[in-house]
């Protein structure tokens, strides 16, 4: 069931990583499953999102909205936004960038190791590849990460 609400895109996030956030109203958090709700999917001003519900100091929950989502949804700090959210039925699903999917086809053993990672680590690997602006950089990152995974090494630690 979708839950709708309006909010303001605010400055926030962890002190080491200032970003944009949307505070989710307590009634919506309760309707999404309360404290047990970890990940949600829906839309931000019509743009599809899949995000984690993060805890606020002193209670409550918020969504961290990165620059990529802000650009795609056409929103900026201080603007009012419309959200539609529901609990994510597949919270561990990770949408792979094309470069990473191709690399896993070439090295199936790396794909097996990728699936053994935690959901948050799989999302971090996919985001690391997706965040590169140039196709060459995305391809290089996909190959580097896939090689590490095929050797059963940590995806981000260089040996």
Tell me the pLDDT tens digit for each residue of 62-120.
999 988 899 999 999 999 999 999 999 888 888 899 999 999 999 999 999 999 999 88
Q: What is the pLDDT of residue 28?
A: 95
User: What's the Cα-to-Cα distance from 105 to each of 5, 29, 49, 51, rounded to whole Å?
Assistant: 41, 39, 26, 27
Superfamily of domain 3-87: AF2212/PG0164-like (2.40.30.100)
Cα–Cα distances in Å, from 141 out to 44, 80, 146? 29, 36, 8
Q: Provide the percentage of residues in the chain whose pLDDT is more than 90.
A: 71
- Say how far apart CA 103 and CA 143 lie, in whole Å: 6
DSSP 8-state symbol, 101:
H
**How far, in Å, CA of 8 to CA of 24, rounded?**
10
Q: How far is it, in rounded angstroms, from Cα 11 to Cα 55? A: 16
CB atoms within 10 A of CB 95: 10
Res 24: pLDDT: 95
Q: What is the pTM of this model?
A: 0.73
Question: Residue ranges per domain, the chain?
Answer: 3-87, 98-150
How big is the chain by its Cα radius of gyration, in Å?
Answer: 17
């Amino acid at each position: 069931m979708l839950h709708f609400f309006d909010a303001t895109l605010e400055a926030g996030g962890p002190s080491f990583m200032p970003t944009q956030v949307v505070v989710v109203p307590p009634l919506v958090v309760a309707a999404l499953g309360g404290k047990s709700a970890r990940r949600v999917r829906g839309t931000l001003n019509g743009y599809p999102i899949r995000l984690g519900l993060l805890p606020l100091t002193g209670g409550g929950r918020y969504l961290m909205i990165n620059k990529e989502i802000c650009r795609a949804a056409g929103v900026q700090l201080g603007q009012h936004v419309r959200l539609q959210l529901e609990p994510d039925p597949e919270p561990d699903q990770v949408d792979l960038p094309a470069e990473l999917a191709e690399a896993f086809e070439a090295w199936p053993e790396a794909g097996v190791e990728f699936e053994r990672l935690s959901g948050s680590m799989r999302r971090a690997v996919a985001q690391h590849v997706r965040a590169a602006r140039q196709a060459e950089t995305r391809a290089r990152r996909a190959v580097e990460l896939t090689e590490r995974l095929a050797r059963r090494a940590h995806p981000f630690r260089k040996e």
